[in-house]
Amino acid sequence: MLVPSIFSNNFVDSFFNDTFDSMFDDMLRTPFSSGGLAAMSTDVQDLGDSYQLEMELPGYAKEDLKADLKDGYLTITAQHNSEKDEKDEKGKFVRRERYTGHCQRSFYVGEGVKQEDIKASFENGVLKLLVPKKDAPAVEEKKYIAIE
Amino acid sequence: MRNMKKHYPMKSDVREKDDRYIVDIDLPGFSKDAIKAYISDGYLVVSAFRDQEKEKKTGKTIYRERYSGSCQRSFYVGDSVRQEDIRAVYRHGVLKLTIPKHPTQKAIAESSIEIS
């Protein structure tokens, strides 16, 4: 229950897709193809007492990132706020592969996790989040009707 | 999520200005020292190395989407571009290279491009 929401049935799908399609992908894919989930690639590790999320957000400044916690979901939003210094740098694009727009991704971390418990750091375009594991609230015991 | 596929590292933008080309390469998670750029036979080669042993605090991996290896990519810039003409800046996981179109005539340097 307290694992990130990535443990949905998508996990199995993507695993098999990767295995079977990779052979064809290697032939077909070009550096230009963005793939399905090019932005915000994330590694999740179980460190025993906490989960560590490492999310790739190259090109974003710390001020462009927002992480908030609501209803047990940790949502990370990235959007370029400081466009002004980029403007004079613009030119004719010869090639464009990078994604520089708005992006957002959510992870289910459980409702027991508080915002102040999550530690976040951002270095070299990688956002690192440490989410402590919190015990699930006691599952309400089913009350059976006594059968006489 | 269904359409999830591995993606190529080092996604790059190339922009053309009047007097120069600007190349932005996504290299998240690398340290500045792990990135090398140099000119070889008219190609600008950019390599990034990942020190696997340095990665501390490794727990049980639940999900891995990021590319964790080393990578290299090259761009044809022509024979007239010299190493010392190229300016390189690494910031927020993006390596920005500025390549002048009309490079100054200088002696060929042996060292690699300094990344600031």
A62-103 pLDDT per residue, tens: 999 999 998 889 999 998 876 555 555 678 888 888 888 889
Q: Across the interface, do B5 and A58 touch by the CB < 8 Å criterion?
A: no
Say yes or no for a CB contact (<8 Å) between B93 and A10. no
Mutate to test the interface with A, among B51, B60, B65 (most CBs of A within 10 A): B65
Contact list, B59 vs chain A (CB under 8 Å): 45-48, 52
Count of CB atoms situated within 10 Å of the CB of A140: 6
**CA dist., res. B10 & res. A139, Å (int):** 46
> What is the rounded CA–CA span in Å between residue B90 and residue B26?
10
**pTM as predicted:** 0.72
In chain B, the residue whose alpha carbon lies closest to the alpha carbon of A127 is B29
Q: Which of A31, A46, A125 sits opposite B8 (nearest CB)?
A: A31
Q: From chain B, pick out residues whose CB is under 8 angstroms from the CB of A97.
A: 11-13
Sign of CA dihedral B34, B39, B41, B43: positive
Give per-residue pLDDT as tens, B1-40: 333 445 578 999 999 998 899 999 999 999 999 999 999 9
Rounded CA separation A94/A116 (Å): 44
Residue A61 above 70 pLDDT?
yes
pLDDT at A129 over 90: yes
Structure tokens at B19: 């007097």
How many CA atoms lie within 13 Å of B14's alpha carbon, on the beta-carbon side? 12
The single-letter code of the amino acid at A15 is F
Q: In this complex, which of B2, B3, B28 lies closest to A125 when CB atoms are compared?
A: B28
Its ipTM equals: 0.77
Distance from CA of B114 to the nearest CA of A (A): 17
